[in-house]
Each structure stands twice: as structure tokens, then as C-alpha cells.
Amino acid sequence: MDWSFLAFVIFATIAILGSLMVILQKTPVSSAFSLVLVFFSFAGLYALLGAHFIAALQILVYTGAIMVLFVFVIMLLGQDEKTTDIKDTSLLFKGVTTLGAIGLLSVFLRAVMGSKEIVAKGQYSEEKIKELGGNLQAISEVLFKDYVFHFELVSFLILGAIVATVALAKRKNTYSGEYHE
């Protein structure tokens, strides 16, 4: 048995089970911790695909930054009581959702089948990347040569997000009292 295949099976299983746990847990805290598992296993999958830089980023950004944010907000809001919100959806709703999911799945599967016909035309084969001195080197070349403009644009997006978040966080109880029960 191939080690990499074994690793794939392990990571894939953890990812799928972890994501199931994310949506099935009753308290947001448990969901958040399941999400950490998923993020880790995704990092492993990236590494298996040879995307080492992405794998590192996954751990840094998601597990490091976003998850901390989530947990912090959960703590801030005190959302630790159990909820049973899945159960009170109607049967019709569930049925339609299931049908939609099956439809989506079939569409995806068809796309996956189509992926077999893909012919590798790009220039960044594994050999080329090794030649360049690794994944990070290759990505930075592409990023800062061809996509530098987009990179700068994204920085504006982040700036906007910061401003928006500050604005949201700073606002005092503007609606207070109006919609209280």
C-alpha cells in the first residue's frame, strides 16, 4: 500500500467526518473545534497535492486567525447553550433540500468525470517546480509577475473589510429598544 494513499484516506476521512460534526454539533463551541480538525486535514490534503505553501497558509490563516476569531466571538456572545434548530424544519423543506443536494451531487460528479479528460498543458510541472527551487518560489513568481495588480486590489478589499468591521464594532445600541421582545 502506498503511504501517500494511506495518508489521503486518513485525511479525507477526518475532513468528511469533521465537517459532518461541524454541522451536527449542538453547541457552537463543539462545531468550532470540529472545524479546526477539518482545517488541519485540509492542510494535509494540500500537502499531498504538492501545494506546500497553500498547506502552510491554511494552517496559518484558517486555524490560526479565523478560528481564533470564531472562538473569540463565541466567547463574547456566550453562545454555549445547546440548540435543537435542525429538528424544527418542515418535511417539505427537508425533501426539497435533499433533492437539491442530490441534483448538485450529480452535477458535481459529472464534472468530476469530465476531469479525466483534462490534458496537462501548463508549464509548471513537478519537474519545473523542483527546478525553480520549490513550490513557494514558483508561486511567488506567478503572483508577483502576472497577478501583482490583483494582489494589490485584494489589499484594498482587506482595507475595506477592516473599516467595515471597525464601523460595525464601534456602533452603540442604535436600534435599542425598538425591536426588543
Partner 1 sequence: MNEPWMMLIVACTVFLIGLMGVIFRKNLLIVLMSVELMLNAVNLSFVTFSKLHNSLEGHISVLFVMTVAAAESAVGLGLVIALFRTLKTADSDQIQILRD
Partner 2 sequence: MNLLLIVLFPFFGFMINGFMQLRSLKTGHKISSKQSGSIATFAMVLSFITAIYYFIQFSGQQEDGRLIEQNLFSWIKLGAFHVDFSLRLDSLSLLFTMIITGVGSLIHLYSIGYMKEDETPAKYFSYLNLFCFMMLNLVLGATMPHIFLGWEGVGLASYLLIGYWNQDTAKVGAGQKAFVMNRIGDLGFLIAMFIAYKYVGSLDLVDLQKATLSPKIASVVGLLVFFACTGKSAQIPLFTWLPDAMAGPTPVSALIHAATMVTSGIYLLTRISPLLLQAPDVLSVIAMVGVTTAFVSAVIACAQKDIKKILAYSTVSQLGFMFLACGVGAFDAGVFHVMTHAFFKALMFLGAGSVIHALHEEQNIFKMGGLSRKLPITTFTFVMGWAAILGLPPFSGFFSKDEIIIQSLHSQYGNQILFIMALASALLTAFYMTRLLVLVFFSPSRMEKETEEHAHESPLVMTLPLIALAILSLVGGFMHHSEGGHEEGQSIMIASVVVALIGAAFAFFRYRKFDKEEMTNQFVEKGLGIDVFYNKFFGNGVPLLAKGLSKWIEEYFIQNSMKFCTWMVEFSGSVLKSFQVGSMQVYLLMMVVFGLAFMIWILESVMQGVIFYGK
Q: Which residues from 93-122 bind partner 2, rule CB under 8 A? A: 93, 96-97, 100, 103-104, 107, 110-111, 114
Q: Is residue 82 at the binding interface for partner 2, with CB under 8 A as the rule?
A: no
Q: Is residue 163 at the binding interface for partner 2, with CB under 8 A as the rule?
A: no
Binding residue count for partner 2, defined by CB under 8 A: 11
Q: Is residue 33 at the binding interface for partner 1, with CB under 8 A as the rule?
A: no
Pair 85, 48: CB distance under 8 Å: no
Q: Is residue 48 at the binding interface for partner 1, with CB under 8 A as the rule?
A: yes
CA–CA separation, 95 vs 101, rounded Å?
A: 10
Q: 33 vs 29, 40, 82, 106, CA distance in Å?
A: 6, 11, 15, 31
C-alpha gyration radius of the chain: 22
Q: Which of partner 1, partner 2, none does 23 bind, CB closer than 5 to 8 A by kind?
A: partner 1
CA–CA separation, 100 vs 113, rounded Å?
A: 20
Q: Is residue 171 at the binding interface for partner 1, with CB under 8 A as the rule?
A: yes
Per CB under 8 A, residues contacting partner 2 are 89, 93, 96-97, 100, 103-104, 107, 110-111, 114
